[in-house]
Structure formats: C-alpha cells, structure tokens
Amino acid sequence: MVPDPLDPPAVATHAALAAATDPAPAGAAIVVEAFVDFHCQYSYRVVAWLDDLGPEHVTVRHHLFAIEQVNRDATGMDWRLWDQPLDYRHWKDIPEKRPLLPFMAMAIVEASEPAQVARDFRLSLYMAKFDFGKDISDIDVVEVAGRMSGVAEGRLRAAIADPAESAAARASIQADFRLARSEYEIFGVPTLRLNGDRPMYLRLAGMVPVEDGPRLLQTLLAVRSGPPEILELKLPDPVAPAWPA
C-alpha cells in the first residue's frame, strides 16, 4: 500500500481529526474551524473578529494553512512546507513571506502555553506584520511578539532549536494541512467551517467593529443555512473615477 503523503505522526490521529469537526450541541457556542495564514491580511481580520466574539458566541479552533504550500504543490506530494529548512527559498523569492517560522512558533505556543497566551501571540504576529511592517520570518521579531504575549524570553528560540519540539511543531503544521485537504479541498485563507458545515472562504473589507461582530456571525449562519447551490458571493470593486478629459 502506498503511504499517504500527508499522513502525520500519531499526534494527529483520524479520531482527533474527526473530533475537530464534530457539530456543536444545540444551544452551545458555534464551533468555528478557522484556516488561516499569518501573511494574509484577511486572515488577520477574521482572527480579530472571532477573538472579539468571545466564547459566549464561538469556540474557535485555529489551523495553520500556508498559501505557499497550495501555490507550490497543493497535493503535498513533491514539496512540503513542514519538511523545509527555516532558510528555504520562498517560491517568489520573497524571504520575508516565508510562513514556516511563525507557523512553528505558533504551534509551539499552542502546545505549551495557556490559551490566553496563545491567543495574544497569534494576534501579536499579525500586528507585527500588518500594523508595524515587521518581518515575522525573523526569529528576533517572533521573540518580541512572544514576550509581548507572556512567553518567556528566549523560549521560542530555544524551542525552534530543540529537535523534539521542532519536530512536533512541524507535525502540527502537517496535520493542519491534511485536515484542510482531507474532506474538502480548501484552497485559500481565511476559510471557515461553522459547526461542521461545508467550509467557506471569507474576505472581509476591514476590521469588524466589536458591536457588529455577532450580527456578522448570524449573517454567515443564515447564508450557510440557505440553498446549497450557493457557492460564492463576491462584491466587485466600484469603478474608479475617470480623469477629466
């Protein structure tokens, strides 16, 4: 039997992947599977919106999904992000857009730190990139984001260098990609799956005001409960004003 090229180690069993998409009990918070990439501003907006909603509205499970992996090899047969050295060559020769280091750091924090620290670290990475223009493929930047979030100084640098923790982080990235491509062929970020329903790709025009967050959630739930024939809703940009003749 040919081995599954996306089959991760035992830390991500079939049972664990199935449990990740179990529907929520009636009356419980909406379970949201969020597939995101730190190099995507639309992922930043969705992550911030979901965080603002809070546990009374949503239970969020974040999954790291690298757009570079899809662009290079969506099957994971010939090229795999999680197998690359940290200094690998980016597919467009833009080294500051390499997702591997921030992905590994996020996986390490999720596995070893309290949930609030992981939440803060996730947002700190997005803020570092999009609010401050920092290179989050730089371990020094990642360390600062960690310290801002409550991670001990030097912890992430040491974990990245540790063979066991590094291997576990890479396995987590592999498992997230496998989850994204096992039942549906998720292609972009951010993609959300609400209560085990069919995933949907979502782009927000900007940050969602806190007071508008619950309304947006209910709108998305209403759209997903509608006719299953709806595959995409997309608003074209308005025509730019013409220069006077």
H or E stretch covering 156: helix 155-161
What count of Cα atoms within 13 Å lies in the side-chain half-sphere of residue 20?
Answer: 22
**How far apart (Å, rounded) are the C-alpha atoms in residues 166 and 172?**
10
Q: Is 66 left (phi over 0), alpha (psi -120 to 50) or beta?
A: beta
* pLDDT at residue 240 in the model: 86
pLDDT at 84: 98
Q: Where is pLDDT greater, at 101 or 245?
A: 101
Q: Whose structure tokens read 């911030």? A: 48
Mean pLDDT over 82-105 rounds to: 96
pLDDT tens digits, one per residue of 177-227: 999 999 999 999 999 999 999 999 999 999 999 999 999 999 999 888 777
Confidence of residue 236 (pLDDT cuts 50, 70, 90): confident
Q: Are 196 and 22 in contact (CB under 8 A)?
A: yes
Give me the domains of the chain, ranges plus CATH numbers: 28-223 (3.40.30.10)
Q: How far apart are CA 150 and CA 137, in angstroms?
A: 20
136-152 tens-digit pLDDT: 999 999 999 999 999 99
> Are 169 and 11 contacting, i.e. CB atoms less than 8 angstroms apart?
no
**Rounded to 5, what percent of the chain is helix, strand, coil?**
50, 10, 45
From the centroid of its chain, how far is CA 94?
20
The whole-angstrom separation of Cα 39 and Cα 130 is: 9
Model confidence at 245: pLDDT above 80: no
Question: Does the predicted model carry a pTM greater than 0.95?
Answer: no
Give the tens place of pLDDT for each residue, 21-79: 444 444 568 999 999 999 999 999 999 999 999 999 999 999 999 999 999 999 999 99
